[in-house]
Structure 1
Amino acid sequence: MHPVPAVDVIDETFLAVARERVAAEFADRARWAAYWPDLRPEIAHDRGPAGIRWTVTGALTGTMEVWCEEVLDGTVLHFFLRAEPGPGSRAARSRRLGRAESVRRHREFKAHAFALKRRLEAGRPAGVPPLAGG
């Protein structure tokens, strides 16, 4: 059995958008610095419309994944981050700080997920199917 990493983030967000569009956002390397400015993701497994798995280095060392699951008329965006604080980081000094780092990373990703939702759904009213191709 593997020990639980110091930073362990799991998140799900529903977007009324085709999974191909959601996955394309994360396939765009130019966006990574905005999502994770202190991490250096390297693709470990590109699963196309199903998402991407990365190894990460920088402020954290570990693995990260977005999984785009088709659900009803949209996509559940799953996010996983399992990592240890990098050498010299504040969170490396204690488990308590590692938990605080998990909470911070979770909030940051959720903010990105909701911004992505607003942008890709383009003001679609609740209960209305996504636009064709959307």
Structure 2
Amino acid sequence: MHPQVHLVDDTWIDAAPETVSVEVRDPANWQAWWPYLRLTVTRDRGVKGVQFAAESGPSGRWPALTGTVEIWLEPFKAGVILHHFLRLAPADGQQLPPRVTRRANRRAGWHAKQVFWRLKDSLESRPRETSG
């Protein structure tokens, strides 16, 4: 599969990796984050994130898509970098027109920022647990 919708995005969150992992691994969040995709966990990496097989039905804008979604959590300083990868291609193997590809990538990027900035805001507004 050569993805036509291809997104690589990073968001730093000032929260412990374990805290972010709980949210990332909660199936209740997946439908809100990717309402246009049906996800199947292919690899649960625990505190390091999760990988999915993804597929969508056809919409008015493009055909059915298939591919992968991944969230990798990388501890960094006092928080975590949430790396988000989205790789999708038409399920029928056809090519999307260039204009549709650009629009799909732009929308996926904007959507990812909205989703993960909301997560960032939510987690950073919580009191931080301290050890000791």
State if a TM-score over 0.5 links the two structures.
Answer: yes
Normalised to the residue count of structure 2, the TM-score between the two structures is: 0.84
- Cα pair 1:85 1:98 within 8 Å, conserved: no
Q: How does 1:39-78 map to 2 (within 5 A)?
A: 39-59=37-57, 60-78=65-83
Once the two structures are aligned, what percentage of the paired residues are identical?
34
Q: CA RMSD in A?
A: 1.9
Tell me if 1:96 matches 2:102: no
Where structure 1 has 5 or more consecutive residues not aligned to the other structure, the ranges are: 125-129
Give the distance between the partners of 2:129 and 2:90, measured in 1 at CA. Answer: 41
Number of matched pairs: 122
Normalised to the residue count of structure 1, the TM-score between the two structures is: 0.83
What is aligned with 2:35? 37
Q: 1:113 aligns with which of 99, 104, 116?
A: 116
- Matched AA of 1:96: R
- Cα pair 1:7 1:85 within 8 Å, conserved: no
Secondary structure of the residue that 1:17 maps to in structure 2?
A: coil
Where structure 2 has 5 or more consecutive residues not aligned to the other structure, the ranges are: 58-64
Give the distance between the partners of 2:47 and 2:33, measured in 1 at CA. Answer: 19
Structure 1 segments, 4+ long, off by >4 Å, are: none
